[in-house]
Copies of this chain bind each other. A is one copy, B any other.
Amino acid sequence: MKNLVGACMFGQSGGPTSVINSSAAGVFTEALKQGNITAVYGAEHGIVGILNEKFFDISKEDPKEIELLKYTPSSALGSARYKLKDADVDDTDYKRILEVFEKYNIRYFFYNGGNDSMDTCNKVSKYLQSVGYECNVIGVPKTIDNDLFGTDHCPGYASAAKYIANTIMECYLDAKVYNFGQVCIIEIMGRNAGWLTAAAALAGYKGLGADLIYLPEVPFDTDKFVESVKSVCEKNDNKCIVAVSEGLKNAEGKYVAECTVSQNDTFGHAQLGGLAQILANVVKEKLGVKVRAIELSLMQRCGAHLASKTDVEEAFNAGAFAVRSAVEGETDKMVIFERSSDENGNYVCKNVLMPLELAANTEKKVPLEWITQDGSYVGDEFIEYALPLIQGDAKAPLEDGLPRFAQLKKVFANV
């Protein structure tokens, strides 16, 4: 562990969340305070900005705008989906990164993202070590999917979960308002992990939730699904709300969205539209009821107006902790969250470090024992897990009745 003196580079990577900028605010606020950090840079579009030598001088930003980053969704610096090759296959990118780091004396590197981004961060860290370039590298977790290995939960997850729970409560009131029935199928993100879709159970905990919840952890059987919808409809005036994960797969491991063809289409065309629309067509055909498909789309990951205060603060703290740890000499690690409770039994979230290579490319899924036997709901273990994470509101101040998001000057450091 070395106490280094030099500049720091921060990058944002992967899909947006409501609080990834809150981690940026944590990194910037802490880094600007540190005597050992001689300059604070923010890469435009993550690793791509480093390769292109395009990054902003954060010291030029108004502290008020850095504070507003806490409530500004998406990645203020721009994001990227760029996969580094293995260095032993092709080290071109790594040599370029080293060149840029040497030119600007980058001695601290913080990278904020999910599985793929931690893979990038890990590769850069290992390469710099292999060539003997001293740079403390810390990954800061981020993903609405909540599927990063090793951490109790991920910044960004709770705000998306809160958005989903709140929105389903409102849609419940709307979809059940008439004296006639309607089946409502709500499609939720999360790739191969059901954490986000499980958030529909939080709405159920408040009495206004989905009747059926399908996670990708359990193989999806379309016939069984139709039977379950039918059963709810029979008990409930044809009113039924279903939450489905975009990543549902059938018993053969194929995505349901890709292999389900509505029988209406006698030519066997795969129908367009997302999973919710496909399942809606199936239900309409088989049960003859009114069906509405809803996709929570981008809104669930960028709906910062419904962010969890707990999430916003934890994301900020994770960024600040990464900087303090690096300045104290830590490197090649990722920040993770450890859950415990205080003397009154209240939820406490502690920042800890974990070796970076453990985080890269491993998916953490919802435990199967949290899912009901028939695979159509989640148990109370999930409510206990998720409820502390969605507490409190935190949103941008209003200006003209609309949110006043951060407006960065984005002064290029190298011009």
Interface residues of A (CB under 8 A from B): 16, 45, 48, 72-75, 78-81, 162, 165-167, 169-171, 173-175, 177-179, 184, 202-203, 205-206, 208, 262, 265, 267, 269, 271-273, 277, 281, 292, 294-295, 297-299, 301-306, 308, 387, 390-393, 398-403, 405
Decide: B302 and A173 in contact? CB cutoff 8 A.
yes
Q: Contacts A174-B74, A272-B273 given: A299-B45 contact, CB under 8 Å?
A: no
Chain B residues near A170 (CB-CB < 8 A): 73-74, 298-299, 302-305
Distance, CA A271 to CA B162, complexed state (A): 33
Contacts A166-B403, A175-B298 known; list 4 others, CB within 8 Å: A48-B179, A74-B173, A170-B298, A392-B398
Partner of A177, one of B78, B269, B308, B405: B78
Partner of A178, one of B81, B173, B400: B81
Decide: B265 and A273 in contact? CB cutoff 8 A.
no
What 8 pairs between A and B have smallest CB-CB spacing?
Answer: A74-B173, A273-B273, A174-B302, A390-B401, A45-B179, A170-B302, A391-B401, A79-B177
Q: Contacts A179-B78, A271-B271, A393-B398 given: A16-B298 contact, CB under 8 Å?
A: no
The smallest C-beta distance from A313 to any residue of chain B, in angstroms, reads 13
Distance, CA A221 to CA B164, complexed state (A): 36
A-B contact pairs, 9 of them (CB 8 A): A72-B173, A78-B177, A170-B298, A171-B299, A208-B405, A273-B273, A277-B277, A295-B297, A392-B398
Q: Give the residue name and chain of the B residue nearest to A304 (CB).
A: B170
